Amino acid sequence: MGFLTYLINGLSLGSVYALIALGYTMVYGIAKMLNFAHGDVIMLGAYLVFMCMSSAGMPAVVSIVIAIACCTAIGIIIEKIAYKPLRRATNLAVLITAIGVSYFLQNMALMVFGSNPVSFTSVVSWPGLSLAGGQLKITGNAIVTIITCLIVMFGLMWFVKNTKPGQAMRAVSEDKDAATLMGINVNATISLTFAIGSGLAAIAGALLCSSYPSLNPYTGSMPGIKAFTAAVFGGIGSIPGALIGGLLLGIIEILAKAYISSQLADAIVFAVLIIVLLVKPTGILGKQIKEKV
Amino acid sequence: MKKLNGSTKKLISSIAVILVLYIVMSTMQATGNLSSLMSGLLVPVCAYALVAIGLNLCVGYLGELSLGHAGFMCVGAFTSAFFSKTFQNEIPDVPRFILALVIGTFFAALFGFLIAIPVLRLSGDYLAIVTLAFGEIIKNVINVLYVGRDASGFHFSLKDMMSLNMDFDGVVLVNGAQGITGTPRQSTFTISVLLLILALVVTHNFVNSRTGRAVKAIRDNQIAAETVGLPITKYKLIAFTISAAIAGVGGVLYAHNINSLTATTNNFGYNMSIMILVYVVLGGIGNFSGSVVATVVLTMLPEMLRGLSTYRMLIYSIVLIGLMLFNWAPGILKFREEHGLTTKQLLDKFKKKKEVQ
Amino acid sequence: MALLEVKNLGISFGGLRAVDEFNLSIEKGELYGLIGPNGAGKTTVFNMLTGIYKPTDGMIYLDGKNITGKKTADINKAGVARTFQNIRLFGDQSVLDNVKIGLHNSYEYGTFTGVFRLPKYFATEKKMDERALEILSVFGLDKEAKVLASNLPYGKQRQLEIARALATNPKLLLLDEPAAGMNPNETQDLMDTIALIRKEFGVTILLIEHDMKLVSGICEKLTVLNFGRVLASGETSTVLNDPEVIKAYLGE
C-alpha cells in the first residue's frame, strides 16, 4: 500500500509539474525561447491566491479566478515590455532578458511580501478518500490536482486542434513567416500563448502550495526548473509531451525520495533526464529536425 | 618588431588595465581606504571572472550554451579544498597551494571531459538543459558526501557522518551539507589577479591557434568543417574541457578564500551558472576581457547599491533588462544607428576628438 | 583505374527513393559534369560522395579504396573536397583563416604548443600563412586576406569556398552549382578560374551545374540525372544532343 500512496503523491506532484511545463512548452514552441521567469509567475499566482483567501477571506474558487486573471495580465505585460522588442534578436539575448525578468519578479515579491515564508492554506478543503479500510489514504489535494491537470491538458489539446486561435498557434510554431503571409496576427498569437501559460501558472501555483504550503519569493524557482526539465523530457513544444514528462518526473521524484534517498532525489531526477535525452535527443515525443544540406 | 594584430593589442591593453586596477586596489587596501566589504570582494570577483572566461570560451567559441559551469567551479573548489585540508600539516603552504590549484583544475577538466562526451552529442537548448542537470547533480551529490580520515585511511559515505565508521581519532574532512570547514585561506588578491591574467593569455592564445580556428570553424558551420576534414568531436571535447578547467581555477580561488565551503543553490547551483552567463552575455559573447569587465561591474554594482537595501536587487534586475533591450532589441538598435548612437559610432566620435586634439 | 568509381549507388528517405542505381566513373584529371532538372538528386549524390548522407545501397571507390559510408572528415582526408550550393563559409573568420582551416590537416602542432606559443607555433603558423596566401593569390583574393569572410561579395565568397576546398589538397573536387546566382561576366571569370585550378592544382573536378553555357564550355564528360536515375552519360556533345536529355530539359 505504501507504494500506491507514493505513486499517487507522485502523480499529484507530476500534475503540478505538467501544468507548469505546459507554460514552458507552449512558449518554447511558438516563440522558441526559454521563459525563465515562468517559475516566478507561479510564485506570484500563489501569493495572489494566498492574499485573497487568507487576508481578504474570499472563497477558494474566487481567489483562484482572481489569481488567474492577474497572472494572465502579468504574463501579457511581461511579454509586451521585455520580450516583444527582442523578437528578432538572438535566443541568448532573450534568455538573459527572461533571467532579468525572473530577478525582477522575485525581488518585487521580496519587497511586497517579505522574505519570511507564509503558510499557505490549501485551496481544497475536502480531506480526501480513505480506501482499503484506511490503509490507502488519498488526499483531496492529490485528487483535485490530478483531475485539474487532466481537464486543463485535454481542454488545451482540444483548443489547439479545433479553434481558430489554436490553429493560429500551431501555424506560428511551425513557421512564423509563412503564418504571417497567411494573414495570421503573429504578435497577437504569441501574446495569447503567454496569456494562457501565465494563467495556468496561477492554477499551478495554487495547487503546488496546497500540497507544499510554505510560500516565499523563491518558491517558484526550483519547481520552474524541474517543470522545464519535464517539458524537455517529454519533448519540448509538445502538449502531451508536457503531460507525460511532468507525470514521469513527479513519480520518479517521489519514488526516489521514498526508496533511495530524499537528499539525492533531485540528482536522480536530473540523471534520468540526461539518460532519456541521450537515448532520445529530442525528448519522448519530440520531433527530430535535420539540417538541410 | 613584428606588428601586433588587433586581438593581441586588445589583450595587452586589458592586462594593463587589470594591473592598474590591481595597484589602485592594493594601495587602497594597504592604506585602509577600502571598505571591508569591497576588500572581501576582491578575490571572489576574480574567481567569478575566471568562471566567466571559461564559460565565454564555451558560449562564444564552441557556440554551445552551458548552464552548468557553476558545477565545474564546484568540482574545482571541493577537490582542491579537500586536498588542502587533508594535507594541511603535511605539506608546506606554497607547494600545497600550487598542488591544490593543479588538482582543482585537473578534476574540473576531468569532469568537463566526462560530461562533454555524452552532452556534446546534443545541441542548442537540449545541451543547455543537460549541462544544467549535470551541475545540479554535482551540487546535490556533494551535499550528501561524507569523507573522513583516520589511522587506517580514508572513509567515504553518502549517508551520514556516523556511517563513516571511523576510529576514535578520525577527522571528518567533508561533512555532507556542512561541506568543508577550515580550508587554509591562501587565495590572495595578488594570486587571483595573476591567475586571471594567465587565463586571459591562455584563452587568447587558444582561440588564435590551429585548434582554436578549428573550434571556431565548427561553431560557424559544422557541416563545412567536416568537409574540410576536421574531427568535430575531438575539438568540441578539447574546447569544453579547457572551458571547464578554467572554471575550476575559479573554484580553487573561491574555496581558498572562505572558511566554510558549502554547496548551495546560490554559490554552485544553476543560479550561479545563470549569473555567470549574464556576465558573459553583457560583457560580449566571445570577448574575454569584456567578461572580466562585466563581472567586476555587475558584482560591485549591487554592493554599491547596498545603501538602497531592498531596492538594490530590484534596480539590478531593471538595469539588466534595460541593458539587454538597449543592446539587442532590433528596433532600438535601428534607432541608435539612425541617430549615431551605436557603441561603434560613439567610439569613433571619441577617437576623432582625440585625434583633433 | 578510374579515380572515382561509383557503383549502383542508391538512397531512400523513408519511402522515397531519391537516387537509384547511380553509376559514375571519373578518370584522373577529367572535368566531369553532373546535370539534371531541379530535384533530380544531384546534390544528394554529392552528399553521399562526401559522407553527409549514408547511402542505402551501392559502393563508392576513390583511387581503388572503398570510402562508402565513411565519416565526412575521413572522406576529406582520403581526398575529396567540396563546395556547397548555399555557400557555407566560416563567416565570422577572416578570408585567410578560412583557407588556413582548409590547411588544418596538412600542418600540425598541438593545442599545448598553441596555447603556450612554443617556437613550433610561430614556425608552423608562418608556413600556413604563406601557403594560404599562395592559394588565395590564385583566386586574386590575397588582397582581401584580412577581410571577414561574410563581408566578401557573393562571387568572391564562391571563389573563397573553392580556395578553402583546394587547401585540403584533394584529389577530387566537387563543385555544387558554382555559377549559381552569377551574372554572365562572373560566370566567364569562374570558367577561367576552373581552368586555372585544374592546371595549378592538378585536381579532378566533378561539378553540378544548370548553366548550359558553362557545362558545354568546360566539361569533357556529362552524366544526366532525372528523377534520381541516370538518363544519359558520356561525351558532352553526345549527351547534349541526346533526344531523351532534350526532352527532360525542355519538355515535349
Residues B192-236 pLDDT 10s: 999 999 999 999 999 999 999 999 999 999 999 999 999 999 999
**Band of pLDDT at residue C61, cut at 50, 70 and 90:** very high
**Band of pLDDT at residue C250, cut at 50, 70 and 90:** low
Cβ-based burial of C59 (10 A; exposed 0-12, middle 13-18, buried ≥19) = middle
Beta strand C80-82 with C4-13: parallel, antiparallel or unpaired? Answer: unpaired
In this prediction, does ipTM exceed 0.85?
yes
For residue A107, which residues of chain B lie inside 8 Å, CB to CB?
310, 313-314, 316-317
∠ CA B58-B261-B154, nearest 5°, is 100
Mean pLDDT of chain A, nearest integer = 91
Does residue A293 belong to the interface with chain C, where contact is any CB pair within 8 Å?
yes
Give a yes or no: residue A290 inside a domain. no
**Band of pLDDT at residue B2, cut at 50, 70 and 90:** very low
Give a yes or no: residue A68 inside a domain. yes
Domains of chain C, by residue range, sit at 1-79+170-252, 90-168
Please identify which residue in the block is written with the cell numbers 589511522: B151
pLDDT of residue A293: 67
- C1-79+170-252 CATH fold: Rossmann fold (3.40.50)
**Rounded to whole angstroms, how far apart are CA atoms C160 and C178?**
11
Give a yes or no: residue A123 inside a domain. yes
Give a yes or no: residue A289 inside a domain. no
For residue C168, which residues of chain B lie inside 8 Å, CB to CB?
228-229
For residue B282, which residues of chain A lie inside 8 Å, CB to CB?
96
**Rounded to whole angstroms, how far apart are CA atoms B271 and A101?**
14
Cα of C63 to nearest chain A Cα, Å: 26
Cα of C153 to nearest chain A Cα, Å: 22
Mean pLDDT of chain B, nearest integer = 90
pLDDT of residue B1: 38
Q: What share of chain B is helix, strand, coil (3-state, %, to 5)?
A: 75, 5, 20
Residues A22-75 pLDDT 10s: 999 999 988 888 898 999 999 999 999 999 998 888 999 999 999 999 999 999
Q: What would the mean pLDDT of B298-312 be, rounded to a whole number? A: 77
Give a yes or no: residue A260 inside a domain. no
For residue A293, which residues of chain C lie inside 8 Å, CB to CB?
43, 47, 52, 84
**How far does CA C54 lie from the centroid of its chain?**
18
Q: Which chains touch A (3 or more CB pairs under 8 A)?
A: B, C
Cell numbers found for residue C145: 586576406
Give a yes or no: residue A248 inside a domain. no
Give a yes or no: residue A224 inside a domain. yes
Point out which residues pair with A247 in neighbouring strands.
Answer: none
For residues B234, B239, B241 and B243, what is the CA-based torsion angle, rounded to 10 degrees?
A: -170
What are the CA-CA distances from residue A28 to residues A22, C22, C99 (Å)? 10, 43, 38
Compare all CA atoms of chain C with the CA of B220 and give the residue at the minimum distance.
Answer: C90
Query: Is residue B200 within 8 Å of residue B288, measured between CB atoms?
Result: yes
| Total structural domains within chain A | 1
Range of lowest pLDDT (A132-146, A148-162, B268-282, C30-44): A132-146
Selection from B25-29, B107-111, B308-312 with the highest mean pLDDT:
B107-111
Cα of C82 to nearest chain A Cα, Å: 12
pLDDT at B347 over 80: no
Go through the domains of chain B in sequence order and give each one's CATH number.
12-30+42-285 (1.10.3470)
> Which structural domain, as residue segments, surrounds residue A51?
2-230
Of B133, B274, B331, which has the smallest distance from its Cβ to A85's Cβ?
A: B331
Give a yes or no: residue A262 inside a domain. no
pLDDT at B355 over 70: no
Query: Is residue A95 within 8 Å of residue A33, measured between CB atoms?
Result: yes
The values of phi and psi at residue B173, to 5°, are: -95, -50
pLDDT of residue C79: 95
More confident call, B353 vs B145? B145
pLDDT of residue A1: 66
Q: What would the mean pLDDT of C9-19 be, rounded to a whole number? A: 90
Q: Please judge whether B206 and C116 are an interchain contact, meaning their C-beta atoms are less than 8 angstroms apart.
A: no
Does residue A289 belong to the interface with chain C, where contact is any CB pair within 8 Å?
no
